[in-house]
A and B are shown apart, each in its own frame.
Chain A
Amino acid sequence: MTSVSDNPAPRGRKQVDAWRWGGRIFLVFMIAYTALPMIWMLLTSIKSGFAAMSFPPQWWPSEPTLASYQKLLDPQNSVGQDFLRFFGNSLFVSVCTTILAVVVAVPAAYAFSRFNFPGRRFLFFSVLLRNMFPAVIFLVPLFILMRVLGLVNTHGSLILTYLTFGLPLAIWLLKGFYDNIPIQLEQAARIDGATRFQAFLMIVTPLSVPGIIATAIYSFIGAWNEYIYAATFLTKNEQLTLPVGIQRFFSENTTDFPGLMAASFMMSVPVVVLFLLLQRYFVRALTEGAVKH
């Protein structure tokens, strides 16, 4: 490395090129690693069952067909009915969780950011610690708790549970956001006669919309993809959410791989679309919230 100072110009140039090429090759590798499994999912989903199970495999489907999708989305046949119902259940649970998470996390994060009450730090970290514990630990006691509350086999049990594992990161992200909003804004509002709550609602909340959107995305994705609690709390077929429902559809030794891939694809569409539309808020919230110096 000392040789750099001997002959800075040419060697530095060469090194930059090497780094840039290394970066490009690495990126190509990562894109292949990321995208090929998803491309294979899509290609399989438009094959017939027979074409999917040929050896050597058909790289490109010789007779592409949308039959698997038609079957899943057709409200006339039983598979389609189930799939659409699971889809609706997932949507309902995820939307409710998202709304509640925002309503609960916003004031909490604001308080952690602004107020200085005894136990503030303790409460903040105990909220964060929730993230540490795996779902399985809470499964049995929560199941019994839900039975006591009469929530077994209701979507309410899922919403309440999902709320708690969305909250820690949501509060943390939002707190970072509020820390960045100058307190003078609220002070000015207070001088103009606003109450503390009004200042929070009218001044600070609109400014933290990107953070709130990030929180909402995070909660939605978490709820949409959750599996263990849904598998435990719900037993009635008509209430299942997609991750569990799909597992019931396709038994352990299924041969309907195009159907399975089509279902996996359909299940991924809402979250991927949502995330791609709103990802800049997410990255921004992380930059401003979590990753500050």
Chain B
Amino acid sequence: MTIVTGHPGAPGKIRAARPGILRQMWMSRADYLYVLPAIVVMLIVIAYPIYYTIDLSFFKTPPGLQLRDKIFIGIDNYTAILTSEVFWRVTLNTVIWTLASTVIAFVLGYGAALALHRDFIGRGVLRAILIIPWVISAVAASYIWKWIYHSDFGIIGAVLVQLGIVDRPPNFIDSVSTVLPSLIVVNIWREFPFAMIMLMAGLQTVPEQLLRAAKVDGASAWQRFWHVTFPYLSGVSTVTILLLAVANFNSFIIPWIMTGGGPSNASHIWITHIYELAFGRQRWGVAAAYSVLLFVILMTLGYFYVRALSGNEKKEGTS
């Protein structure tokens, strides 16, 4: 650090205008102490795994975690993935799962937030009930719904039979055609409260005068929503949708516990598939290559995520 401060040859003019980066860092050295613990933990648990995964994706690995005798095979793992049929099946599942869960959870959460915005008796109780699915463990949720969908004693099947809609209880999660939608229903059950909380918080920031002014000008309820509330909440909405999309893309527990990806891969999404490749079939190299592909997709999403968040930050700065 003394190099910077003690460098006589450095043109003083420029230094005065814009001190060197090292000097800046040195001057704010105490600031780093505050973030240091967070950064250290993050480096251990993020940077190392990312490096390791990329490295491993170019190797053929023997089963078991004795990875010393891995063999370098270049991009073979990647070509193997991209040419396999399962990959495209799983990718399609992931797209359906992520899109459907995100959109429906967001719409339901938005609706619930709007419906709960007006003050009425019992509002707090209703809000609490609606939030509970988001709080309870996904493992518990999976077991509850597995029981509800049970092919012999499930309650939905029983209701359908008693109403005379079907002759015998349908196999919700044991049949290729219904398994993915059935799991999406469970996922939305767990996720819409998050959208609801975010938007409820957002709704409190919409200025009351604006809505009243619109009402005085003769705007209908829909017009007030569409022209005042909705644009006002666009920032929150973007962040919420992105967070939901990332969470859904990364889902694991619900499909894993409820079906394990079956029947015949119909409910495998990327994460469950990677998990099965790595820990079920011990194909570490292929799983690592999958993970790297996943990185690329997530970094693309992450670009928008950061942009949406920094958009918020800019707004904070100007207000």
A-side residues, CB < 8 A to B, are 1, 4-5, 8, 12, 15-16, 19, 23-24, 26-27, 30-31, 33-35, 37-38, 40-41, 44, 52-57, 103-105, 107-108, 110-112, 115-119, 121, 123, 125-145, 160-161, 163-164, 167, 171-172, 176, 179, 196, 221, 224-225, 227-228, 232, 242-243, 246-247, 250, 257, 260-261, 264-265, 267-268, 271-272, 275-276, 279, 282-283, 286-287, 290-293
Interface residues of B in 240-298 (CB under 8 A from A): 243, 246, 249-250, 252-253, 257, 271, 274-275, 278-279, 284, 287-288, 291, 294-295, 298
The answer on a CB contact under 8 Å between B41 and A163 is yes
Which secondary structure characterizes the binding site on chain A? helix
Interface residues of B in 189-245 (CB under 8 A from A): 189, 192-193, 197-198, 200-202, 204-205, 218-223, 232, 235-236, 239, 243
Of the 9-residue stretches B8-16, B85-93, B112-120, which lies at the interface with chain A? B112-120
Partner of B115, one of A26, A57, A167: A26
- Say whether, besides A40-B148, A145-B49, A104 and B31 are in contact (CB < 8 Å): no
Give the total number of A-B pairs whose CB atoms are below 8 A apart: 292
The answer on a CB contact under 8 Å between B205 and A293 is yes
B-side residues, CB < 8 A to A, are 21, 24-25, 28, 30-35, 37-39, 41-42, 44-46, 48-50, 52-53, 56, 65, 67, 108, 111-112, 114-116, 118, 126, 128-133, 135-140, 143-145, 147-148, 150, 152-153, 155, 158, 161-162, 189, 192-193, 197-198, 200-202, 204-205, 218-223, 232, 235-236, 239, 243, 246, 249-250, 252-253, 257, 271, 274-275, 278-279, 284, 287-288, 291, 294-295, 298-299, 301-302, 305-306, 309-310, 312, 315-316, 319
The answer on a CB contact under 8 Å between B42 and A292 is no
* Complex: chain B residue closest to A149, CB-CB: B44
* Complex: chain A residue closest to B196, CB-CB: A30
The answer on a CB contact under 8 Å between A291 and B246 is no
* Complex: chain B residue closest to A226, CB-CB: B137
Can you list 28 pairs linking A and B with CB atoms under 8 Å apart? Answer: A31-B129, A31-B130, A33-B189, A34-B129, A37-B144, A44-B147, A118-B28, A119-B25, A123-B35, A132-B299, A134-B249, A134-B271, A136-B278, A137-B295, A140-B288, A142-B45, A145-B49, A161-B45, A227-B253, A243-B137, A257-B147, A267-B136, A268-B132, A272-B135, A276-B128, A283-B201, A290-B201, A291-B202
